[in-house]
Structure 1
Amino acid sequence: MKASLLLAAVCLVLAALAVLVMQHGWRQARSEHVVERLGQAKPEMAKDSRWGWLERAFLRAGLKLPSNRLGILFSSWIALLTLAQLIGGWMLGLIALVLPPLVLHMLLSWRSRRRLRRVVHQLPQMLDQVMRSLQTGRTLGDALVKGIDTAPEPLHGALSRVQRNVQLGVSLPEALDDVAELYAQEELRILALGVKVNHRFGGSAIELLGSLIKVIQEREQMARQLRAMTGETRLTAVVLGVLPIAMAAYILAVNPSYLMSMWLDSSGQKMLLSAFILQVIGTVMLWRMLRSI
C-alpha cells in the first residue's frame, strides 16, 4: 500500500515537471523567435535567476548549463531516488539523495580550478600582446578585444564575455568587473581594478599593464612554490578521504555477509548511516582544506 502511494506521488510529480518543461520550452522558443525577428542582442552580464548559481558553476568550469534538459535530469534523479528507496530502504534513498549533487559539485569545482589555473598562466602573455597593440596607437578597449580574439583556450572562452559586451556598448571596466565577479579570481579582479582606475583617473595604460603582468607572474610563482611545499599535506588529505571508502569496498568484496548483516539490522543501519554522514562531512572538510592551499 505504501509503495503504491509512493509510486502514485512520484507519477504526479513527474507529470507536473513534464508540464513545466513543456511550458518553459514553448516560452523559450517564442522568445527566441521574437529576438531573431527583431535582431536584438543583449550583453551577457552576470545576473541572478532561478538557476543562476548552477549556471555560474557550469560557466566557471567551461561548460554550458543544459537548461532545456534540467527537467529531465531532475525527473531522472527523483526516479532514481524512489527506486533506491524501494530497493534498499530509507538508507539507500538517503545515499541516492546526497551522492549525485555532491559528486557534481566536486567535479565542477575540480574542473573550474584546473581551468582557472590555465587562464592565469595564459593571462600575462595576452596582456603583453595588448601592450604591443597599445604601442601601435590602438585604444585600450580595441587592444584588449583584439588580444582576447587571438588568445588560446581556455583564456579566450573565459574572456569572450568581455569581448562581446564591449562590442555591444558596455564599458570596459564594467565588462571586466562582470567577468571577475563570475570567476572570483584574484588576478582578474586586479586587472578589472587597474583598468577601472585607469579609466577614471587616466595614466599610462602601458605602464599599468606592465605592472599587472609583473604582479600576476609573481603571484603565480608563489602559488607554485606553495603547492610544492604542501604536496605531502595534500597527498595525506587524499589518502584519508579515500581510505574509508577503499576499506568498505574491500570488506564488501571479501566478506559481503559482514556488511549485509549490519545492513539488515536496525542498529547496524544506524551505524552505517552515521559512518556515511561522517564520511561525507570529512570529505567536504578535506576538500575545502585542499582548496585553501
Structure 2
Amino acid sequence: MILTLALLSMVSLLMAGAVELWWGSTARQQRRRSAEFIERSLASRAHVAPPLPAVAAGKPMRSQALPTDSLFLRAGLPTGWRLPVQLAMLGLGLAWLGAWRIGTLWAMPVLLVAYSLLVWLWLRGRIEKQRRQMIHQLPDFLDGVVRLATIGNSLPMAFQTASSTVPLPLRSVLDRTMVSVRSGMDLDQALQLASQPYRLEALQLLQVVLGTAVRIGGRADHIVQRMSDFMRDLDQAQHELRAITAETRMSAWVLGLLPVAVAIILSLLNPAFFHPMFTESLGRKILLIALVMELFGGFLLYRLAKSL
C-alpha cells in the first residue's frame, strides 16, 4: 500500500507538470503562428528570401548541455550541471534525514515529492520576479534607443549604445544579442535567438519591429516610442492588478501549502504521532485520501488564482 502511495505521489507530480504545460500550449501556439505570419509578410513585401537559420546567419551557438539551462536562465541562475546536482543531493539528504527522524524509509518518497514541489515553487517565484524586472526595464531602454535614433544614429547603433547602460537582468539578453550581431547576424535574428529562453512577448514584439525596420525601412523610432509608452502603461496596470488581487492570491497560497507544512512539521517534531500513518493499513489509507484531497484542493485554488 505504501508503495502505491509513493507511486501515486510521483504520478501526481508529473500530472501537475503536464497540466501546467497543457494550459500554456494554446498561448505558445498562438504566438508561434503570429510570428510565422509576420515573417512571411515581411519576406513577401521586401521580395527577399526568408531569414536564414541562426546557425547559417552567424556564428553557431553552443548547444545547451542540459535541458534545465533554459529554465535556470529564466530564473536568473547559473547554467550547467552543478546546480541541478546540488539541488538533487540536498533533496536526497533532507528526505533521508526526514525518513530517519520519522522512523521509516517509506516516508522518503513523500518527502521527495514535497521537496520537489518546494523547488518548483522557488523556481517559479524567481522566474516571475525576473520577468517583471525585465518588463519594467524595457520602456527605459526603448526610450534611450529612440533618443539616439532621433539624433541621427542608425537603429542597430542606437540599440548597441543604449544597451550598454541597462542594468541586469535585461542587460544579459542585450549582451547576448550584441555578441551575435558582432558575429554577423542581423539585429532582429540576434534578439530572437537571445530572448528565446526567456519567453517574453515584449521581446518578441520588439524583434518583429526591428525586423521590419531592417528589411523594409521607415520610421521605426516612432513605433518603438509607441511600444515604450504601451509597455509602461501595461506595467502600471499589472502592478495595480497585482495589488488588488494580492489578498486572494495570498489566501490561495496559504490554504494550499498550510496542510503540507503542518504535516511535515508535526511528523518531524513528533515522529510517534505520524509513524502509524506509514506502518498501519488504516493510516496509509488516510494518508492516501489526504493526498488526493490536497491535490484536488490545490488544483481548485490554482484555477481560482489564475482566473483573476
Query: TM-score, with normalisation over the residues of structure 1?
Result: 0.71
The answer (yes or no) to whether the contact 1:43–1:164 under 8 Å persists in 2 is: no
Distance 1:227 1:152, change over 3 A: same
The one-letter code of the counterpart of 1:167 is: R
Deviation at 1:277, TM superposition (A): 5.3
Q: 1:177 aligns with which of 173, 192, 196?
A: 192
Aligned position for 1:265: 280
The answer (yes or no) to whether the contact 2:69–2:80 under 8 Å persists in 1 is: no
CA displacement 1:188-235 (0-9 Å, x = unmatched): 122112212222322112102111111211211221222122122212
SS in 2 for 1:182: coil
Aligned position for 1:62: 76
For residues 20-169 of structure 1, what are the structure 2 equivalents within 5 Å? 42=59, 44=61, 51-52=66-67, 54-67=68-81, 88-90=104-106, 92-169=107-184
Deviation at 1:125, TM superposition (A): 0.7
SS in 1 for 2:105: helix
- Flag structure 1 segments of 5+ consecutive residues without an equivalent: 1-40
Percentage of matched positions with identical amino acids:
31
CA displacement 1:41-97 (0-9 Å, x = unmatched): 94547x6x5623x1001001111123256567657766777787786233x231244
Could you list the structure 1 runs, at least 4 aligned residues long, displaced by more than 6 angstroms after superposition.
78-86
> Separation in 2 of the partners of 1:44 and 1:289?
41
The answer (yes or no) to whether the contact 1:44–1:161 under 8 Å persists in 2 is: no
Aligned position for 1:189: 204
The one-letter code of the counterpart of 1:220 is: D
Q: 2:230 aligns with which of 206, 211, 215?
A: 215
Distance 1:68 1:253, change over 3 A: closer
Aligned position for 1:19: none
The one-letter code of the counterpart of 2:242 is: R
> Separation in 2 of the partners of 1:148 and 1:291?
34
SS in 2 for 1:108: helix
Task: Name which of structure 1's ranges 253-262 and 215-224 shifts more when overlaid on structure 2.
Answer: 253-262
> Separation in 1 of the partners of 2:189 and 2:216?
16
Deviation at 1:272, TM superposition (A): 1.7
The answer (yes or no) to whether the contact 1:60–1:182 under 8 Å persists in 2 is: yes
Deviation at 1:165, TM superposition (A): 1.3
Aligned position for 1:227: 242
